[in-house]
Copies of this chain bind each other. A is one copy, B any other.
Amino acid sequence: MSRFLTILLCAMLSFEMSGCREKDNQPSNASCLEVIKNRTSIRQYTDQPVEKEKIDNLLRAGLAAPSAMNKQPWKLVALTNKAKINELGEATGKPPISKSTLTIIVCGDLTKTDGTSEDLWWTEDCGAVTENILLAATAQGLGAVWCGTWPSAERFNKAREVLRLPENLVPYSMIAIGYPNENPTPKDKFTEDNIIRIE
């Protein structure tokens, strides 16, 4: 009998440590390849706010992105004020933002670039930041969608105005985030047609 209990206990421990368990919708131990495969755009959210710890994980993931010459030419706006969220969604014509409980705006900081209009390396860095945040959301059981902002001057100027950001900050992307209220199947976009192999 005691051997049976030992086996049961160990089996529970294995499961606990397996990283396959979801706790509070938080599968944060899912493998990275699985998270990349399972990420999909989520545009409907519940009213449940995103916990501070998860917000910090999202911001840390974003700021861990690579940047050309390690210039880190970015600034992240973490917006949880519901009135401002609604105003931003309305002004930029993006319903998922209005429905979200958290929107992160990834901005390029032009004071950290070389200042010429041809210098668009910062846009690549901000792209990496955005993708990291989307994956960190999925990894934490959150849903998110990338709302394209730059290069639409109309859209990034509206966002800058609503958020009262200085001229040197260019909103590059707006990421609507919250607890999912829909469960779409991730698209399988793999096709050999999009691969050229030179061996």
Contact = CB atoms under 8 A, between A and B. Distances in A.
A123 B121 contact: no
Interface string A8-47: 0111011101110000000011111101110101000000
B197 A78 contact: yes
Interface string A47-82: 000000000010111011110101010111111110
Given A66-B41, A123-B123, A131-B65, A136 B198 contact: no
Contact of A189 (B2, B64, B130, B186): B64
Number of copies: 2
Given A19-B29, A39-B64, 7 more contacts: A18-B19, A30-B31, A36-B132, A37-B60, A63-B194, A64-B186, A124-B127
